[in-house]
Amino acid sequence: MSEVKIVEILAIILALAIAIIGHEIMHGRVAYMFGDDTAKLQGRLSINPLVHIDPVGTILVPALLYFSDAGFLFGWAKPVPVNMPVVIRNGGYNGAIAVALAGVTFNFTIAILATILLHILPAAHGAWGFFLQAFLTYSVVYNIVLGIFNLIPIPPLDGSQVLVYLARKRGYYDFANRYQSIGQYGMIILILIIATPLADIIFAPMMHLINFMLPK
């Protein structure tokens, strides 16, 4: 394996790890702001990646996608535990919505910062320059993909949580309960979407946004 390929793989691993682990940590940190110390007590607010690694979602799935030339990478970390009743008691449904949106807010923030740096930094030179450019590029890609994907309103994704708590806030409790019950089929629905042409409806806008953000 060439030096360039090794540097690229390291950049991919770091960018993906920050995107998926940071996403989960932010759920816990915002919940902590509303009095829920569940994640803190379990050591899940740490930036130590070892406490967040999911063997399948953080290692196996991204590796299989990369080495099978799937054309995209995806993954997830262990979900950070959140005691939503505590959050709602202290912050109301607005607090619950803030917790649900914390991960995607992190992803979009990182994507924007990486985009800015790509546009203002000079051209890459040497191994370090190539690593930095690759890391920033993949940071844009993975954070946009994770951010938009998690906004899909299908349980258990963050977008569904936002919809449920908005419904509860407006008093539509029956709708919220029925919608939340879809969660038991959520992963099946997502797999069916990703494995069919419906995936283009989700991924095409992502690619357009990524192409717009990256330097030409």
DSSP string spanning the chain? --HHHHHHHHHHHHHHHHHHHHHHHHHHHHHHHTT--HHHHTTTT---GGGT--IIIIIIHHHHHHHTT-S------PPPP--HHHHHHHHHHHHHHHHHHHHHHHHHHHHHHHHHHHHHSPPP-HHHHHHHHHHHHHHHHHHHHHHHHHTSSSTTSHHHHHHHHHHHHTT-HHHHHHHHTTHHHHHHHHHHHHTSTTHHHHHHHHHHHHHHHS--
State pLDDT tens for residues 101-122.
999 999 999 999 999 999 998 8
Q: Is 8 a catalytic residue?
A: no
pTM for the model: 0.90
Given a cut of 50, the residues of the chain with pLDDT beneath it are none
Task: Please report, for the chain, the start and end positions of each structural domain, with discontinuous segments joined by +.
Answer: 3-153+206-213
Query: Of these residues, 17, 19, 21, 24, which one is catalytic?
Result: 24
